[in-house]
Amino acid sequence: MAAAFLAPAVARAGTSDIPALKDVFRDHFKIGMAVDPWVAVEPPARDILIKHASSITACEVMKPDPMGVAADIYSFGDADALVDFARSHGIAVRGHTLCWHKRASDWFFAGDPADAAYASRVQARLETYVVNVVSHFRGKVYAWDVVNEAAADSGADVGGGAYRDSRWHQVLGPDYIDIAFRAARAADPAVQLFLNDYGLEKPDKRQRFMTILDEKLKRGVPVDGVGHQLHLSIGSTTAADIEPALAAVEARGLVSHVTELDISVYGDPASCWDTPPAGCQPEILPGSAAYDAALKAQADMYRSLFDLFTAHKSVTSVTTWGVADDQTWLDAYPIMRKNYPLLFDAQGKPKPAFRAVADTTHPAE
């Protein structure tokens, strides 16, 4: 692949002089971005998605809050708009997410917990929600993150157990995961069902996650694959850290989706995430030497990750959490600070990370 296409700084994401990511990785995995409908229809995201994406994930609009308004009341408009955009451009859609403690609306848990029938009522609401949502998108969504972030972040949760001490777990116990997956399978026999989480590149979190996964597989819960979020920072994680997670999934006969990939340009210490703003690095500005150095390190890291993904046939979908640097959750997390975690810059132009990923025949610059 001629290096010439890589050179011009003026290349725009939607133009013909850069390769389409969906073509570069066509023989390996679907590739795409997380986006919301109001972002997808505007530049720069629109051009990038149409040119490069073979998969789209809803960043927000397919979560229980906002999509589940109340028991048996749904707000499908925004999600349908994203699905329509994707289908009109031949892009497949990943559903995110049916059950997540962070967006679990209060109506799921209405009632008196002391009531003997309380848990069965909560279970019925979860089952009805999942069945109705998965049925609504049947044939339009190829994979669902059925349950998100079920594993405990540290051994302290739930008395040292594997499960996050979430509201779902408090009311229904570990079975909430079985309930959500079985309801999704009942609604759509063809859609792929995923257990999605972050930190699987860390041995202790991975062990807790695999404990949960093995319990579910032993009980015949219809899990097709594992979603690896991969919210990373430069200098924090290597491909060698991630490989054991992919291998563990393969050893169980399942597939892996990389579901939320981004690489923060700040190599913050743990304190910045645990007790912000302790230790958080100062903002870097485009055009500075620090920015150029960070983007070079980011490009090298993206290249090594995509080399890992293409080396594993079990990786069948890779999604970045966002389209271009103009819209990223990392601008507000862990602190308010402009971040540049994606493959395209805020104007939609390919960054060094894009060139490193797209030019798979030559070493990263």
| Residue 183 C-beta: closest distance to ligand G3I, Å | 20
260 assigned to active site: yes
Residue 59 binds ligand G3I (CB under 6 A): yes
Interface mask toward ligand G3I for 243-262; x: CB under 6 A: -----------------x--
Residue 103 binds ligand G3I (CB under 6 A): yes
CA triple 68-136-180, angle to 5 deg = 60
Residue 167 binds ligand G3I (CB under 6 A): no
Q: How many residues bind ligand G3I (CB under 6 A)?
A: 9
Residue 60 binds ligand G3I (CB under 6 A): yes
| Residue 234 C-beta: closest distance to ligand G3I, Å | 18
Q: Which is nearer to ligand G3I, 18 or 61 (CB)?
A: 61
Exactly one of 215, 260, 283, 365 is catalytic; which is it?
A: 260
Residue 229 binds ligand G3I (CB under 6 A): yes
CA triple 133-150-332, angle to 5 deg = 85
Residue type, 175: D
| Residue 36 C-beta: closest distance to ligand G3I, Å | 7
Residue 289 has a CB neighbour count (10 Å cut-off) of 8
Q: Which is nearer to ligand G3I, 123 or 166 (CB)?
A: 166
| Residue 8 C-beta: closest distance to ligand G3I, Å | 31
Range in contact with ligand G3I (rule: CB under 6 A) among 57-65, 279-287, 298-306, 348-356: 57-65
Exactly one of 60, 149, 215, 250 is catalytic; which is it?
A: 149
149 assigned to active site: yes
Catalytic residues: 149, 260
Binding residues for ligand G3I (CB under 6 A):
59-60, 63, 102-103, 148, 229, 260, 329
